[in-house]
Amino acid sequence: MAIRKSSNTGIPFGNTANRPASPATGQPYFNGELQRLELYTGATYGWQNVVAETPGVTGYTGTVLETNNTIEIAENIIEQGKKVIIFTNFTETLQLLHNHFGKSSVYLDGSCSKVQRQYAVDQFQENDKIKVFNGSLS
């Protein structure tokens, strides 16, 4: 899969103390100290873990609340004229998100062929109507 964007689209990284001082809502940050991808959700909630983990719980498929929160954050980012990339470990959550955003999103999981994966990436990067990239981490 080829990502054809300039390096200025990279996600900033560092430790907790080095988070951006005045981040924009929706700004991602990889926290190396905590080993997690974070998203700035605004002054009320601040930096939030993008991937919610539930250690020791098998068969966990996320909750409607978490999915609704993800949708709300994504819609706020889209309203700012930006595109959104959402990754999840849970197939059901991935499908719910893709169904919610419909034709304005692309979907990529392990069942996608190499051609389908590249098409999803190309559509997200080149098609102004595609606002959401839904991807599976597993």
For the segment 97-119, what is each residue's pLDDT rounded down to a tens digit? 999 999 999 999 888 899 999 99
Identify whether 117 is part of a domain. yes
Which pLDDT score is estimated for 21? 87
Identify whether 120 is part of a domain. yes
Of 75, 14, 16, nearest to 41 by C-alpha is: 75
Of 112, 105, 106, 100, nearest to 138 by C-alpha is: 112
Which pLDDT score is estimated for 35? 73
pTM of the model: 0.56
Identify whether 99 is part of a domain. yes
Identify whether 3 is part of a domain. no
Q: How far apart are CA 32 and CA 117, in angstroms?
A: 28
Q: Which residues of the chain have pLDDT under 50?
A: 1-9, 53-61
Domain containing 118 equals 23-136
Total tally of structural domains belonging to the chain: 1
